[in-house]
A and B are shown apart, each in its own frame.
Chain A
Amino acid sequence: MTAEAPPAEVVDKVPEPAPPSGVRAWMSRHPLAAYAVRRFGLYLVELWGALTIAFFFFRLMPGDPIQTLIQSLQQNYIYNQQASAEIIARYRAEFGLDGNIFSQYLVYMKKLILHGDLGPSLISYPTPAQDVILRSLPWTIGLLGISAVLAWILGVVFGAIAGWRRGKLGSRIMTNLSIALSHVPFFFVALILVYVFAYTLGWLPARSAYDSNINPGFSLDFIASLLKYGLLPGLSIVVIGTFSWILSTRMLMVPVLGEDYLVYAEAKGLKPWRILTRYALRNCYLPQITAFGISLGFIFNGNVLVEQLFNYPGLGTTLVTAIQQLDFNTIMGVTDIAIFSVLTAVLLLDLLLPLLDPRVKYWK
C-alpha cells in the first residue's frame, strides 16, 4: 500500500469546536434547569413507552371483551336474544375496539391524554373506568403510601444503627433476620398475620377496610375503625419492607464507617450520636431515596395481592375483579395509573435529589 489520501474518518476527526448555540449556552448557564428539562424528557419517553407496551400487551391477548359483555348480559337475562351485528358494532365503537389495532391505539392514547378518559368499564357499565378507579384509588394511596414510607423510615433508621453497632449481638441478630426475611413476598406475611391475629387470636379483622356498621365520615369512630382494619394489611407491607431497607442501608453504612472524615470527626471529639446522624447517615439515606422510587413498582405488585387477600377496596381488588370479568378498559386503566404514579414518583425524587444533596451533579 502506498501513501494515498488519508482515510475519510481521519479527516472527520479534526476537532471543530462548534460555536455554542443559544440552547447550549443557556444550558451551561442554567445547569440545574437543563438537567430538569432533560430528566423530564426522559420521563415522557418512559411514560409513553410503558403505556404503549401495556396497550399492545392487552390488545394482542386473545379474548373478545364485547363477546364477554354480550354473554354476561345474556346470562343476566337483560338481553336474551342473540346480539345483532348492529348492537355488537355499537358496543365495539363505544369500547374503542373498532378499526385495526393502530387506529385503536391512536384513539385510546388521544382520549387518555386529552381527556383523561379510559373508556367505559365493564364491571359497572356504563360508569367510565376512570370513575371506578378513582373510587378505589384513595384506599390504595392511603394503605400503600403510608406503609411504604413508614417501612422506608424504619428501615433506614434501624439499618443505620445496625451498621453503626456492627459486631454487637443485637446488630447481628437484626442483620441475619433481615437476610432471611428481606425478600419474602408480602402476601406470605399477610397470610401468616391473618392466620395468627385474625384466625387464631381473633384480635383484628381480616377483611374489608372499615366496619360496615359505621358510616364513613370524618368521625373518631370511623378513623379508629380505619386504623383497626388497616393494621394487618399495612403491617404485612411494613414488616418485609423494613427488613429489606435495613439490609440495604446497612450495606451502604458499613463502607462509610471506614472513611477518613469519620475518624477525623471522632478525633475532633464529636459525640457518637452526632457523628452518626450528621456525618454517616447523610451519606446513606440519599441513595436510599432513589431506591425508594425504584421500589415503588415492586411494592405495588405486592400490594395487589395484599389487598385481594384482605378484601381491601383498593386498586388491587378492583384490578382482580376487572380481570375476572375481562374488563379491558379498567384493567388497562389500573395498569396505566400504576405506571403513571410510579414513574412520576421516580421523576419527583430524582428532581428533588440535587436539592437534598449538594454533591449531586447531573449536568456535564
Chain B
Amino acid sequence: MRILTAVLRTIRNSPKLAIGLAILLVMVLVAIFSPLIVKGIGGSTDPLELAAYERWLVPGPDHLLGTDQFGRDVLAMVVSALSVSLQIGAIAGLISTVVGVIVAFVAGYKGGWIDGVLSTFTGILLVIPTFPLLIALSAYAKNVSLFQVGVMISIFSWPFAAKTIRAQVLSLRSRPYVDLARVSKARDLEIIATELLPNLLPFIGVGFASSALGAIFGLVGLEVIGLGPGGVIDLGQIIFNAINTGALTLGAWPMFVVPIVLLTLLFAALNMVNIGLEEVYNPRLRGVAGE
C-alpha cells in the first residue's frame, strides 16, 4: 500500500511520466483486447483472413482504414500487429533487463578480474555494429514463435542495460549502509536483494523501457527491409507491405501512415516514461533535461 501511494505521488509530480504511462496504458489495453477488437471489426468473417474482402478498398465507413493487397482489413491488421510489437518489446525487454541486471551485479559487486572480463565483453558488444549479426540471425529464423524472436533480439540489447546498471552498482557498493550490512555478516545475495536492488529499481525500469523500445524498433527495422523472421506480423511488416506493393499509389495511405504514427506514439510514450523516471530519481537532471 505504501509503495502504491509512493508510485502515485511520483506519477502526479511528473507530468511527463503521467502522459507517457497513459499512452502506454491505452496501447496495452488495445493490445490485450485485440482479439475482441478484431472480431468486432470483422463481424462474422475473420478480417485477417486472406481475401476476406475485396482488395485495395479505400478507407470508408465499412473499412475505416481500407483493405490491403490480400483483401485484409487494415485496421484489424494494425491492431493485431500492435499487440505483436508490444509483446516483442515486453519479452525482449524482460530478458535483456534480467541478463543485464545479473551481469551488472556480478561485475559491479564482485569487481576484480570478473568485472574486467565482463566489462570488456559488454564494451565490445556495445561498440561493434551488431545489426549485421541480427539480420543474419533473422535470415535463418523461418517460422519462429514470438518468444523466439524476442530471445533473438535480446541477445543484442542486454549490454545497454548491463552498462547503465553496473555504473550504479559501483556507486552504491561503497555506500555506508552496504558496508554496515557487510560488517553485520550479511551474505552477498542478501545484500544485493535487500540493500542494492530496491535502490536500483528506477534504473532497472529505465533499462527495461529502453531495451523494450530498442527491441520493438529492431524488429521493425528488420521487417521494413523485408528481412524479418518469417511468421511474425508486426507493425514493421505492414510498413514493408505498404512500400513493397506501392500501396501509396493505390490510395491505401493508411497502411503506411497508421503504423508509423502508432510507432511514433509508442516511442514518444516510452521515452517520456524514461525521462520522467530519470528526472524523478535524479533531481539534478530536472533542470537539464526538461524545461
A-side residues, CB < 8 A to B, are: 45-46, 49-50, 53-54, 57-58, 61-63, 166, 172, 175-176, 179-180, 183-185, 187-188, 191-192, 195, 199, 247, 250-251, 254-255, 294, 297-298, 300-301, 304-305, 308-309, 319-320, 323-324, 326, 331, 334-335, 338-339, 342-343, 346
Q: Which residues of A contact B268 (CB under 8 A)?
A: 180
A58 touches B288 (CB 8 A): no
How distant is the Cα of A331 from the Cα of B227 in the complex, in angstroms? Answer: 14
Choice from B136, B263, B285 contacting A323 with Cβ under 8 Å: B136
Decide: B127 and A342 in contact? CB cutoff 8 A: yes
Do A57 and B133 touch across chains, with their CB atoms under 8 A apart?
A: yes
> Does A179 lie within 8 Å of B275, measured CB to CB?
yes
The residue of chain B having its C-beta at the shortest distance from the C-beta of A48 within the complex is B124
Residue-wise interface mask of B (127-154) relative to A, using a CB-CB cutoff of 8 A (1 in contact, 0 not):
1111111011101100000000000000
Q: How far is the CB of B250 from chain A (nearest CB, A)?
A: 13
Q: Are B132 and A331 in contact (CB under 8 A)?
A: yes
Chain B 223-263 against A: per-residue CB contact (8 Å), 1 yes, 0 no? 01101000000000001000100001000000010001001
B139 touches A335 (CB 8 A): no
The answer to whether B217 touches A185, judged by C-beta atoms less than 8 angstroms apart, is yes
Whether, in the assembled complex, B59 has its beta carbon less than 8 Å from a beta carbon of chain A, the answer is no
**Cα(A185)–Cα(B127), bound, Å:** 17
Q: Is the CB of B291 within 8 A of A176?
A: yes
Q: How far is the CA of A326 from the CA of B121 in the complex (A)?
A: 27
- Which one, B124, B139, B289, contacts A46 given CB within 8 A? B124
Are A338 and B260 CB-contacts (below 8 A) given A175-B291, A179-B289, A320-B225?
no
Query: Other CB < 8 Å A-B pairs besides A62-B140, A192-B260, 20 of them?
Result: A50-B127, A50-B128, A58-B133, A175-B289, A179-B290, A180-B268, A184-B264, A187-B221, A188-B260, A191-B243, A191-B256, A195-B256, A254-B287, A255-B288, A294-B127, A297-B126, A297-B127, A320-B225, A323-B136, A335-B132
B: contact size bracket: 35 or more
Give Cα A179–Cα B136 distance, bound, in whole angstroms. 32
Q: Contacts A191-B224, A297-B127, A323-B227 given: A61-B132 contact, CB under 8 Å?
A: no
Distance in angstroms between the alpha carbons of A51 and B146 in the assembled complex: 30
Q: Complex formed: what's the CA distance from A70 to B288 in Å?
A: 60
Listed by A's residue number, 13 A-B pairs whose Cβ atoms lie within 8 Å are A54-B128, A62-B140, A183-B213, A187-B224, A195-B248, A250-B288, A254-B287, A255-B288, A294-B127, A304-B132, A335-B133, A338-B128, A342-B127
Chain B hits for A199, CB < 8 A: 248
Return the CB mask of B32-62 against A: 1 if under 8 Å, else 0: 0000000000000000000000000000000
Q: Least Cβ distance of A296 to chain B in Å?
A: 8
Tell me, rounded to whole Å, the shortest Cβ–Cβ distance linking B262 to chain A. Answer: 12
Query: Roughly how many angstroms separate A346 CA and B140 CA in the complex, as a whole number?
Result: 32
Closest 4 CB pairs of A and B: A301-B131, A300-B129, A338-B129, A308-B225
Which residues does chain A contribute within 8 Å of B225, judged by CB atoms? 187, 305, 308-309, 320
A304 touches B131 (CB 8 A): yes
Chain B contacts of A298 at CB under 8 A?
129
**Complexed CA–CA distance, A227 and B106 (Å):** 50
Complex contacts, B271 vs chain A, CB 8 Å: 179-180, 183
Name which residue of chain B comes closest to A319, CB basis: B132
Give Cα A23 to B135, complex, Å. 46
Shortest beta-carbon distance from A301 to chain B in Å = 4
